[in-house]
């Protein structure tokens, strides 16, 4: 899928490339290519998705691919939550500076959280920096409260060029159908 987290990763990779930063994105796929491939202004590597459990993809191959990619990286940027990468982080012993963009508290898998919590807290404690996506999220997250000293807020930006502009007809339809004031995101 290419949802919110994936769009954020793509936007970060695209925007940092304009500053001369080379980005390689590692993800899981049911049908991965063996080779690393370009996607717009960055490179993508896919590891085979073996199975999913509790909305989390798992892969044996990701350990090998992460180790190879992290060996040539200057910085590792994780996106949380993805429990598999917590394990990969510790297993790889990459020794590189690492940051994590914290997209969400774990809310749907509350039954699993007590078992995952020790690994999660160790992982978040081990990375060098945590990025919260809004001041309100930093303030409201009970997990981020434990890491406030190393957490910075960087709002997720929207690349207007990635979306079509509304036509005059679209605007007219909105004005005639939806009572104002109205803002659509």
CATH number of domain containing 115: 3.40.50.2000
> How many Å apart are CA 97 and CA 172, to the nearest integer?
50
pLDDT given at position 175? 84
φ/ψ of 48, rounded to 5, equals: -70, 125
> How many Å apart are CA 127 and CA 76, to the nearest integer?
9
pTM: 0.81
Residue 184 domain flag: no
| DSSP state, residue 1 | -
Tokens of 153: 């807020």
pLDDT given at position 16? 77
pLDDT given at position 3? 61
Residue 19 domain flag: yes
Residue 124 burial by Cβ neighbours in a 10 Å radius (0-12, 13-18, 19+): buried
Tell me the per-residue pLDDT of 19-42, one tens digit each, with 9 for 90 and over.
Answer: 888 888 888 888 877 777 877 777
Q: How many domains does the chain have?
A: 1
Q: Print the domain residue range for 120.
A: 4-177
Residue 45 domain flag: yes
On whether the CB atoms of residues 150 and 130 are closer than 8 A, the answer is yes
Strand bridging mode 51-53 / 56-58: antiparallel
What's the whole-number mean pLDDT along residues 150-172?
Answer: 85
Residue 28 domain flag: yes
Tell me the per-residue pLDDT of 72-123, one tens digit each, with 9 for 90 and over.
Answer: 999 999 999 989 999 999 999 999 999 999 998 987 777 788 899 999 999 9
């Amino acid at each position: 899928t290419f949802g919110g987290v994936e769009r954020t990763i793509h936007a970060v990779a695209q925007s940092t490339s304009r500053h001369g930063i080379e980005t390689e994105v590692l993800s899981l796929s049911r049908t991965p290519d063996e080779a690393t491939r370009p996607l717009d202004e960055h490179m993508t590597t896919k590891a085979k998705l073996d199975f999913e459990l509790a909305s989390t993809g798992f892969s044996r191959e990701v350990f090998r691919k992460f180790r190879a990619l992290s060996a040539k990286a200057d910085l590792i940027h994780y996106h949380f939550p993805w429990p598999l990468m917590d394990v990969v982080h510790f297993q790889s012993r990459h020794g590189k500076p690492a940051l994590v963009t914290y997209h969400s508290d774990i809310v749907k898998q509350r039954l699993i959280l007590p078992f995952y919590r020790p690994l999660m807290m160790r992982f978040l404690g081990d990375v060098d920096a945590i990025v919260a996506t809004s001041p309100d999220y930093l303030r409201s997250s009970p997990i981020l409260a434990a890491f406030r000293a190393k957490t910075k807020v960087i709002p997720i930006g929207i690349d207007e060029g990635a979306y079509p502009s509304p036509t005059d007809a679209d605007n007219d339809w909105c004005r005639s159908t939806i009572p104002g004031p109205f803002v659509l995101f």
